[in-house]
Amino acid sequence: MDAGRKLRSLRESLRLSVRDVESASIRLAEKYQNPDFAIAPSRLSDMESKGVLPNLYRLYSLGVIYRRDPREILTWFGIPLDNMLEDFAVTQSAKTHLIGSIDQHGSVTLPVKMDPGFDLRETTNVGRFIEQWGVVPLLQLRERANGNYTYGYIGVEDFTMYPLLLPGSFIQVDESKNKVVHQQWNSEYARPIYFVETRETFLCCWCRTKGDEIVLESHPLSPVPPRIMREGDAEVLGQVVGIAMRLGDEIRFERVPRVRKQLN
C-alpha cells in the first residue's frame, strides 16, 4: 500500500471522517497559534488519493489525530529513518566531530541467540554461529549502555592517526577517562588515543602534557604535524575505547599536507 492508501485506511479504521480530521487539526492549530497545523478536507483528500506530501506541521497533526508516531508515517512516504546510522557513511563529513544524540525510538536487528560453540577467543565467521536474529528496540540498547560513553566520527580529511585509525571511522569514547596518562607503552596499540576538542575542531590523537601545555601527537606515519597548545585551548573529552572502520576504501591524500612539519 502506498502512503495515501495507508492514511485513508488508518482514518477509516478509526471511523473518522475528513471533517473530523479537520476539526481536530484546527484545535491543534489554535493551541499552537499556527494555521499550518490545520488540515482542510481537500488537502487530506489530496494526500490520500494523489500522493500529496504533508508539511511537517500537518504530519504532526496526523500523528496526533491517528494516534501514530509521526516517524512511522514518515516511513510510509519513503523516509528511511531506521537507516540513519548506516547513511552516515554515505554522506561523509570532511571534519572530525561528535555524533549528536539520535532518538532511540527505532529498532535494530541483532543476533539474539548464538551457537553454544561460539568462542570469543578465536577468529571466526560469526555469521555461521548466529542461530536467531531479533528486532531489539534502540531504547533498550541505550538503557544498557554505559552512560560515560559518547561517540565521534573521524572526518574523511582527518589523517591525524592514519594509518592506525582510518578517516571515515566511527569511534566510541569513554568520557570518564579524560586525564592524560603518562607511562611507557609496549606498542602503539597499547598507548591511549584521546578524543580532543580544540577551539577550531575535534581530533583523535595521542597526548602528553608538559607544564601548562598539551602536545597533540599524530601517528609517526601521518602527514599531519603534531601541535602544542595551552591546556585551556584543548580539552580531552575522553579515551577512544571502540572503533568501527571500513577497510579497502580509497584514501585521498591530496587534501592533506604532503610535507610533515617538525616540532620546534
Ordered by where they begin, the domains of the chain are 3-76 (1.10.260.40), 149-255 (2.10.109.10)
Is 103's pLDDT higher than 60? no
Q: What is the per-residue pLDDT for 261?
A: 41
Average pLDDT over residues 148-162: 87
Average pLDDT, the chain: 82
Q: Using an 8 Å Cβ cutoff, are 66 and 10 in contact?
A: yes
- Grid cell, residue 246, equals 571500513
Distance from first CA to last CA of the chain, Å, rounded?
Answer: 67
The Cβ-side half-sphere exposure at 65, using a 13 Å CA radius, reads 31
Distances (CA, A) of 108 to 91, 100, 119: 20, 18, 24
Overall average pLDDT of the 68-81 stretch: 88
CB 168 within 8 A of CB 89: yes
Say yes or no to pLDDT of 255 above 60.
Answer: no
Q: Tens digits of per-residue pLDDT, 8-28?
A: 999 999 999 999 999 999 999
pLDDT (0 to 100) of residue 259: 38
- Express as a percent the part of the chain with pLDDT over 90: 46
For residues 33-43, give the mean pLDDT.
Answer: 96
Is the bond into 163 cis (omega within 30 degrees of 0)? yes
- Cell readout for 187 is 606498542
pLDDT at residue 207 above 50? yes
CB 234 within 8 A of CB 196: yes
110, pLDDT greater than 80? no
Predicted local distance difference test score (pLDDT) of residue 66: 93
Task: Answer yes or no: is pLDDT of 123 > 50.
Answer: no
Assess whether pLDDT exceeds 80 at residue 257.
Answer: no
| The pLDDT value given to residue 133 | 65
pLDDT bin (cut points 50, 70, 90) of residue 109 is low
pTM, two decimals, is 0.59
Cell of 68: 501514530
Which helix (H) or strand (E) element contains residue 172?
A: strand 170-174
pLDDT band at residue 140 using 50, 70 and 90 as cut-offs: low
β pairing state of 227-230 and 234-244: unpaired
Q: Does the pLDDT at position 7 exceed 90?
A: yes
Q: Between the ranges 49-58, 82-91, 141-150, where is the mean pLDDT highest?
A: 49-58
| Distance separating alpha carbons of residues 29 and 27, to the nearest angstrom | 5
